Amino acid sequence: MGNKLLRGTLLLSSASLISKILGFIYIIPFTLLVGSLGYNLYKYAYGPYTIMLSLSTMGIPLAISKLTAKYKQLEREDVIRKIVKSGMVFMLITGMTSFLLLYMLAPLLAGIVVDENSEGNSLESVTHVIRVVSFALIIIPPMSLLRGFFQGNDSMGPSAISTVAEQLSRVLFILVGVFVSIKLLNNPIDNAVGVATFGAFIGGITGLGVLLFYFWKRRNLLLKPRNQISIHHDISVMAIFKEMITYSIPFVIMGLSLPLYQNIDTYSINTVLKSLGYQEVAAENVNSVIGLAQILVLIPVSITTGLSISIIPNITKSYVLNNFGLLKEQVGQSLLILMFIIMPAATGIFVLAEPLYLLLFTERNFPILGGQLLVVYAPAAILIALYGVTSSILQAINQQKKLIIGLFIGIFIKVILNFALPGIFLEKGFILATYCGYFASLTINMIIIRNKIGIHLGKIKYRLVSIFISTLLMATLVNMLEKALTQTAGTFLTVIICSLSGILIYIISLYGLNFFRYKKFLKGK
């Protein structure tokens, strides 16, 4: 059982990591092909699509996984059949509804970010790309349900393969399609971006195809034939829907946190900057640069969140058993793991902001402005990662309602300050608004954790201090090295040498501070 669980966890974690890497790498050649305005056009489409996708799936895949496992344990094959059939119908309905809604709202959403006589991306172009990407909403929800069903049957391989196949086919379609459209067919940028947004549909078809293949291949193992099961009528379809939706709502709301922050920026930056006297094209360029900087900031966030969340099942078990001594240790250890990775990663991006942005996004995407904004944005990775992990801890101890309240307080602050701070800090105001929103939500999370569990960092305080000292030393030396190399080496060599040197300095410093002597520092010595 342990080996099976470990294998499943490794498969899903590896698939998620590969998918995230592919999702980052393709942005670099994509922005080279379409430029900042083209990337912004792409972002206009994917912002509302991400929110609609979250709402259309509503956390159902996770609910399906839990319900399937539950009734499999109870040997209620008749209920599992109801779950699959009713869940698939529900996903098809929500997928089609969200598709129609996004398709019809496209002109309204486009009008929020660009004017009818815009000098940058046109109203028609934005409307077109939003409508193109909306078609993927028909495919993705039923695909997500099948992934949940496989996971509920302890069959992680199909979900992992489907995840990678979906992302790989999407990325390949985007890059090949955009290259052919621009370089071979000489189409305008907006047409090429339209091709790129259709990649979501292609990826969905591929991922769904993989799952259907495995479902057909393993159908006799996943579902017993109808004539071999006992049919009962004690659990209705409506009861299944109620259980499914009740379980999924907290997860969908929390899954919306990052897309909401991203969309608040995407759909307010142009309006706010134009009210401050910026031209349409200049406002769109700032919008694009902030989006590209955000991609870099979220890379370490995605890694640390995945690593830290692996501790959550143990936190849930300790909470159920009322073992608060162990629970405090587990919370402390999860925060330690988080800080061990996120502190040097965020600091490294901060120190190397200008050459890193220039290397990845080139002169075509305003490297001076990009570097300046990335310097401000980089430390936000620590706040965002801490918020993600503390949110998971609160979900593990059944504090979803308070967690949701904290999220919406942060969102409210973000919206208000997105309109207030740019008048003082210009482009940096949007980033500072993100800091304030996440800080408010994180503060609420920490207060709840302290009241419900208690936060005891005594056993890890020395190692936390070691992380801070090692990070500071790394930042100081890498900053000196970066200034020296800028005069003699190119951007690529500067980033590579400084990155490798930073990792080496950080590890050696921690070793020198006896950080890795676990038992000694667990006792707080």
Residue 343: what pLDDT? 92
Which of 63-67, 125-129, 266-270 is least confident? Answer: 63-67
Give the residue from 356, 341, 359, 351 showing the smallest Cα distance to 375: 351
Average pLDDT, the chain: 81
Question: Where are the alpha helices (H) located in 26-139, listed in sequence order?
Answer: 27-57, 60-73, 77-113, 123-134
Give the global pTM.
0.78
By three-state DSSP, how is residue 375 classified?
A: helix
| Across 475-503, average pLDDT | 89
| pLDDT value for 304 | 66
| pLDDT class of 523 with cuts at 50, 70, 90 | very low
Phi, psi of 185 (to 5 degrees): -100, -5
Q: Tens digit of pLDDT for each residue in 435-463?
A: 999 999 999 998 998 888 877 666 778 88
In tens, the pLDDT along 123-153 reads: 888 899 999 999 998 888 888 888 877 777 7
Cα 479 to chain center, whole Å?
29
The alpha carbons of the chain give a radius of gyration, in whole angstroms, of: 24
Torsion of the alpha carbons at 92, 97, 103 and 104, rounded to the nearest 10: 160
Least confident interval from 112-116, 159-163, 469-473: 112-116
- What are 356-369's pLDDT values in tens digits? 888 888 766 677 88
The CA distance from 459 to 475, in Å, is 26
Rounded Cα distance, 374 and 449, in Å: 31
pLDDT computed for residue 22 by the predictor = 82
169 pLDDT tier (thresholds 50, 70, 90) = very high
DSSP state of 295: H
Beta strands in 468-510 (DSSP E): none
Please tell me which residue, 513 or 9, carries the higher pLDDT value.
513
Residue 407 contacts residue 253 (beta carbons within 8 Å): yes
d(CA 394, CA 400): 7
DSSP characters over 137-161: GGTHHHHHHHHHHHHHTT-HHHHHH
CB–CB of 4/293 below 8 Å? no
Q: For residue 72, which amino acid is it? A: K
What confidence score (pLDDT) does residue 229 get? Answer: 59
Residues 6+ apart with CB under 8 A from 143: 162, 166, 204, 207, 208, 211
Report the candidate in 458, 437, 454 with the shortest Cα–Cα distance to residue 397: 454
The rounded distance, in Å, linking the Cα atoms of 60 and 252 is 9
Averaged over 217-243, what is the pLDDT? 64
512 pLDDT exceeds 50? yes
**What is the pLDDT at residue 472?**
95
- Lowest model confidence (mean pLDDT) among 223-237, 400-414, 483-497: 223-237
Output the pLDDT for position 223.
Answer: 62
Comparing 236-240, 279-283, 293-297, 484-488, the range with the smallest average pLDDT is 236-240
Task: Quote the pLDDT of residue 331.
Answer: 79
398 vs 297: which has the higher pLDDT: 297
The larger pLDDT score, comparing residue 471 to residue 215, is at: 471
Q: Greater confidence, 457 or 499?
A: 499
Tokens read off for 430: 């949007």
Asked if pLDDT for residue 248 goes beyond 60, the answer is yes
Most confident of 85-99, 183-197, 212-226, 247-261: 183-197
Give long-range contacts, CB 8 A cutoff, 24+ apart: 379-382.
Answer: 379/346, 379/347, 379/350, 380/297, 380/346, 380/431, 380/434, 380/435, 380/438, 381/297, 381/298, 381/300, 381/301, 381/342, 381/345, 381/346, 381/349, 382/342, 382/343, 382/346
Cβ-in-10-Å burial (0-12, 13-18, 19+) of 437 comes to: buried
For every residue of 440-477, DSSP letters joined together read HHHHHHHHHHHHHT----TTTHHHHHHHHHHHHHHHHH
Q: pLDDT tens across 272-327, in order? A: 999 998 888 888 889 888 988 888 888 888 776 555 455 555 676 677 677 777 77
What CA–CA distances, in Å, run from 372 to 243, 381, 429, 456?
49, 16, 13, 37
